[in-house]
Amino acid sequence: MITFLKILKFLPPEIAHGLALNALNILYRTRLLRFFYVKPTASPKIFAGMTFQNMLGTAAGLDKNGDYIDCLGELGFGFLEVGTVTPEKQYGNAKPRVFRNFQENAIINKLGFNNKGVDHLLKNLKSKKYDGIVGVNVGANKWSSEKERVQDYLLCIEKVYKYADYITVNISSPNTPNLRDFHNEKNIIGLVDAIDLKVSELNIQTPLFLKISPDESKESIDRIIEVVSKSKFTGIIATNTTIDKSSLSNSKLRNIEGGLSGEPLLKKSTDILRYIKNKSNNQIPVIGVGGVMDSQSFNEKIQAGSSLVQIYTGFVIKGPSIVSEILRN
């Protein structure tokens, strides 16, 4: 397995990603996965009315379409978040669109919500065997206008809420043009009000989280805190990838468009997490994500006030063994 993981590093990122997940799925279906990865001992946590087997979960993007829920669930995660999913399937941005930096434990992606559409994801949610917590991250199609994007979110929420344990509204991907405009005062109020109305109309009890950008000013974050605190949202996921690549030593990578994730994002995302907790007097629950590569960075998120922690880049760089490595320390 170690040799296989080493080989993946020499393959194009998206091919390597697909091969890795398909290999995990084969091991799961043949009941061999347990011989390679031992589940960590459960340490249940109750949060937002849900019981999580532990505090570590996958961030959106790892399994965009919910095709690998069952095999990922066997690795010992406390929960999974699938997506980002949009109403209609879309290819995303042109390739190459993923760039790995193993020296700095980082990834730059400009994928652009590539996914098979919400109906495909829905089928996988209905047929999954994994009985743990599964959240669904929803977004908007690239070609939708500003008004249509609000409807995109509402449509996805309406389709998945009966089958998702929680829903994340993603307004923070840097790879869909103008999506981050939803952080602006008028736009965020309009979006949240529309979602609140839909929640009331359908009597939706599924917890809702807002996933935000790490590149916002304190004024913008303060506004989001105020809007969320007055809404039907349960909390915030902090944060998505950053467009600030000044911390990278590789000058070529600094000039690539897209969102930076991994170790260089740790401080920035954790600072925002801590700021939200302090500014809201611990009244807004936050799920921390960004830069978690080991048990130390995992614990940093918790100490900053995170109720749960998600990983993506750490899993891609280090492989499935990172789950037990983090949770046993």
Full set of structural domains in the chain with CATH: 40-327 (3.20.20.70)
Contact 240, 265 (CB under 8 A): no
Q: Give me 273's structure tokens.
A: 């997490």
43, 127, 144, 173: the catalytic one is 173
Q: What does the CA dihedral 299, 107, 58, 289 come to, rounded to 10 degrees?
A: 40
Our answer to whether residue 200 is catalytic in this structure is no
- Interstrand relation of 106-109 and 259-262 (parallel, antiparallel or unpaired): antiparallel
Q: If the chain, 329 residues long, is cut into consecutive pieces of 10 residues, what is the mean pLDDT of each piece? A: 72 91 93 84 90 96 97 95 97 94 94 96 97 97 93 98 98 92 93 97 97 96 96 97 92 90 96 97 96 96 97 94 88
Question: pLDDT value at position 55?
Answer: 96
Question: pLDDT value at position 157?
Answer: 98
- pTM (two decimals): 0.94
Write out 202-227 in H/E/C secondary structure.
HCCCCCEEEEECCCCCHHHHHHHHHH
CA–CA dist 27, 23 (Å, integer): 6
Question: pLDDT value at position 1?
Answer: 57
Phi, psi of 311 (to 5 degrees): -130, 155
Question: pLDDT value at position 110?
Answer: 95
Question: pLDDT value at position 162?
Answer: 97
Contact 213, 180 (CB under 8 A): yes
CA–CA dist 61, 81 (Å, integer): 8
Contact 106, 313 (CB under 8 A): yes
Say how many C-beta atoms besides its own lie within 10 A of residue 125's C-beta: 18
CA–CA dist 329, 179 (Å, integer): 38
Say how many C-beta atoms besides its own lie within 10 A of residue 201's C-beta: 10
